[in-house]
Structure 1
Amino acid sequence: MSNAFEQPRVEVTRRYRQARRLFAEHGRQGVGNWLRRALASRLAPFVEPLDVRPADVLAVDTRVPRCWSSLPLSGKGQMVINWIIVPPSAGSGGHTTMFRLIEHLERSGHICRVYLYDVYGGDADYYGARTRKLFPGFAGEINDAIRGMADAHAVVATAWPTAYPAYRDPCVGKRFYLVQDFEPWFHPLSARSELAEQTYRMGFHAITAGRFLAAKLSAEYGMTADAFDFGCDRAYHLLKGEGKRDGIVFYARPEAPRRAFELGVMALQLFAERHPHITIHLYGKRIGRLPFAFVDHGLLRPNELNRIYNHCLAGLSLSMTNVSLVPHEMLSAGCIPVVNDAEHNRIVLDNRFVSYARPTPHALADALGAIVATPDLAGLAASASDSVSSVSWEEAGRTVERSIRHSLQQSASSAPRGHKETVQI
């Protein structure tokens, strides 16, 4: 009988010692995270569901070239554009950029329809109402992509899972691809990374956020591509010059590996040890306990965020893939961004007031420290803000509008008279 109880006793003792070590190093939050991971590993499905319906993947054979006809377009006439999107969440930078472009097109007299693509069986009416709440400036229709799309001049995929229904749907409309990041990098080498990469071989015309992605897709996948530059919403992000700058701010997104949260935390730990008088602000998501003192803001509205930027000397914004909107917003408010040094960041930002550092804790902490030690911080903040004062989302919208129209006109002029696509899906 004693042998029967020996193994459970050993296991309980081992787990107790493990919990004590975790508590000593990470506190109650560390123990809680460990317990949640252990429970999740038992309850989670054996195979995570894909972000795309298998039926949509099976309907796409990228080895077979395909082209799409479009509704007739005359001169500078009105365009009808279908946008396929995954349901948005609060704080999503990708959706924010997308709807800024869509709203510009609507203001310019074009018809935009949104089609929601959700593989988890979400209710389209619910997510449609949520989309309108998050983006009240959008006036067009919101429908369910799985039920099919109406004919249009253009059909725009906006994330790799949405490229599959864009390819498969029988509706009329030239296919475009709004590419805001290189999404195969979001995943380890896997079915997901391969399925994401295959979307660049579907024959769509790419419209990319920044020149880095346009060059990469053209060189490596032969895609036709146009790029728009990031804008800056000066209605929210601007230099106010109110009060003393006495902090630094970190865009913290632990659920997005490409934002290198853990690396940022280690850099801030070093910085805090060297500059204990500087307040550290975190926003993006509630974080909890860390090995240094900080103000935990969680998700913020743009005006709340701008207030923090205007009280900070520098900001830490890390991106292992295409750069986020954050460095432009920081610059606009006179907060100097520290960014990991990478080709994709330098090409897209192209701003002399950005501080680049190797992606190591010590190099990033040194870069933050160098900004804090700058003698004329007020002058630096004003110059940084001026450097992006002419950058607007209206110009980005005009670029996208010109790109879609020009591509449609090119397709119309090159199509044989009387041509009509007959590919069966």
Structure 2
Amino acid sequence: MKKLKDLASFIRFEYDLLVLKRVSKIISQIEHGYCVKQYLPVKDQYKIAFIVPGMVSYSGGHTSILRLGTLLSQLGHDVYYITYDGTSREKMEKSAEINLPGYQGTFLEQSELNKFNSDIGIATYWESCYWLLAFQDIFDYKMYFIQDFEPYFYAMGDLYYLALNTYKFGFHMVSLGKWNKSIVERKTTEKVDYIDFPVELGQYKLKKRKIIINKLVKIALYLKLDSRRAPFLLIQQIGYLHEKLSKLGYELEVYVFGLNKHIKLPFIKNLGKLKTKELIELYNECHFGLVASLTNISLVNYEMTLSGIPVIDLADGSAPTFFSEEEMIFINSNIDDLYNKVIYYLNHQDVLNDVLETSQNKIINKRLSWENSSNQFNNIIYRNVSK
């Protein structure tokens, strides 16, 4: 066990060191440690460049960038995605097509970054902010699309503060949802705009459904080997749930997605990384969805809800910022709390169906969609045209 812990610590240290080396390389090219000038000329459409860390298949964050870029393109803007990490254009295009078939916008490799003039440059990850700062002269207006509070990705130290400092560069910051906005404004003196946290209504259709559970309980679990998704905590709670339900005569089936398929877990069937159609089919078969949103809420919560499955998330995370206790089931970190909540709703299935219906109504009534959120982003751009 000690050898495994030592190996895990070494791998984490090596990864952090790799990030530090990559960031230090671009920091050495930065002339000013802040945004010197912001100027957005009056135009009907803009040339917009998202500065991206490559393009990773099945990545929710990368897919969100593609959705925003595609919809801005449909609004008439000339959209580009420029990587800073050396990924080839061909590989990025292939991953993008997996993430969002029919996406719009043009991919460019790192070599284009220091010679690509654009009206608007948009950082999409804390590392990309340093690249945008280093080459700020070729972008008239600098923005930061914040999908999460990224300092929380790291322990207190170098990387934490390198990520935190990006909120002080003077870029125009726009948060995906209110949670990031509240954290950044609390940790700094900067102001942040936000767009509503959306869901893809074109793919995840509203499914009205009455859940009836007999002796077989099925759970769809979104899991990643990332502390923000609390994999150890959720697996321990599922083990406890399995033991307790079996003593009461229930059978428990847990289907996990989001991991590499070769990973074996106790009491859990690993389905690997699923496409949208496969996810919808899984949700339609299950009675509960289980997600851990210790930082910004996941798109999965919204997608599960629309697909007709009530969602369980952590009370100590960001989900309570977006949903009430009447709209989502919240559990604490005690090993028995998942069991406590599940057994309550097994005995009160009318209340379970009320939770699902209320959360679905919230999404529909608030008109939460990528189209509306992209229009909000577009309006934010035009509100800041230089006079």
**TM-score (structure 2 length as normaliser):** 0.86
Report whether the alignment pairs 1:174 with 2:141. Answer: yes
Deviations 1:56-77 (A, max 9, x none): 213347755622334x224xx1
Who is 1:185 aligned against? 152
> What is the deviation of 1:349?
3.6
Q: Distance in 1 between matches of 2:178 and 2:314?
A: 18
Q: Distance in 2 between matches of 1:384 and 1:290?
A: 30
Who is 2:207 aligned against? 239
Question: Closer, same or farther in 2 for the Cα pair 1:240/1:279, shift >3 Å?
Answer: farther
Select which of 310, 314, 320 maps to 2:294: 320
Who is 1:309 aligned against? 283
Once the two structures are overlaid, the 10-residue window that deviates more, 159-168 or 229-238, is: 229-238
Tell me, yes or no, if the aligned pair for 2:291 and 2:311 is still in contact at 8 Å: yes
- SS at 2:194's partner residue? strand
Question: Closer, same or farther in 2 for the Cα pair 1:380/1:339, shift >3 Å?
Answer: closer
Matches within 5 A, 1:414-425: none
Identical aligned pairs, as a percentage? Answer: 22
Q: Distance in 2 between matches of 1:327 and 1:304?
A: 16
Deviations 1:392-421 (A, max 9, x none): 1111111111112212x1xx12xxxxxxxx
- SS at 1:310's partner residue? helix
Q: Distance in 2 between matches of 1:288 and 1:172?
A: 44
Who is 1:28 aligned against? none
Tell me, yes or no, if the aligned pair for 2:57 and 2:95 is still in contact at 8 Å: no
Report whether the alignment pairs 1:386 with 2:361. Answer: yes
Match of 1:101, as an amino acid? L
Tell me, yes or no, if the aligned pair for 2:184 and 2:192 is still in contact at 8 Å: yes
Report whether the alignment pairs 1:81 with 2:48. Answer: yes
Who is 2:378 aligned against? 401
Tell me, yes or no, if the aligned pair for 2:122 and 2:144 is still in contact at 8 Å: yes
Deviations 1:130-154 (A, max 9, x none): 3345333333221124432422221
Q: Gaps spanning 5+ residues in structure 2: where? A: none
Question: Closer, same or farther in 2 for the Cα pair 1:383/1:200, shift >3 Å?
Answer: closer
Q: Distance in 1 between matches of 2:152 and 2:15?
A: 23
> What is the deviation of 1:327?
1.2
Q: How many residues align?
A: 371
Who is 1:67 aligned against? 37
Select which of 143, 156, 162 maps to 2:122: 156
Select which of 95, 98, 106 maps to 1:130: 95
Once the two structures are overlaid, the 10-residue window that deviates more, 257-266 or 219-228, is: 219-228
> What is the deviation of 1:336?
1.3
Tell me, yes or no, if the aligned pair for 1:67 and 1:203 is still in contact at 8 Å: no
- SS at 2:311's partner residue? strand
Question: Closer, same or farther in 2 for the Cα pair 1:331/1:39, shift >3 Å?
Answer: closer
Select which of 235, 259, 271 maps to 2:229: 259
Q: Distance in 2 between matches of 1:302 and 1:174?
A: 35
Q: Distance in 1 between matches of 2:324 and 2:382?
A: 27
Once the two structures are overlaid, the 10-residue window that deviates more, 181-190 or 49-58, is: 49-58
Who is 1:417 aligned against? none
Q: Distance in 2 between matches of 1:234 and 1:64?
A: 38
> What is the deviation of 1:378?
4.9
**TM-score (structure 1 length as normaliser):** 0.79
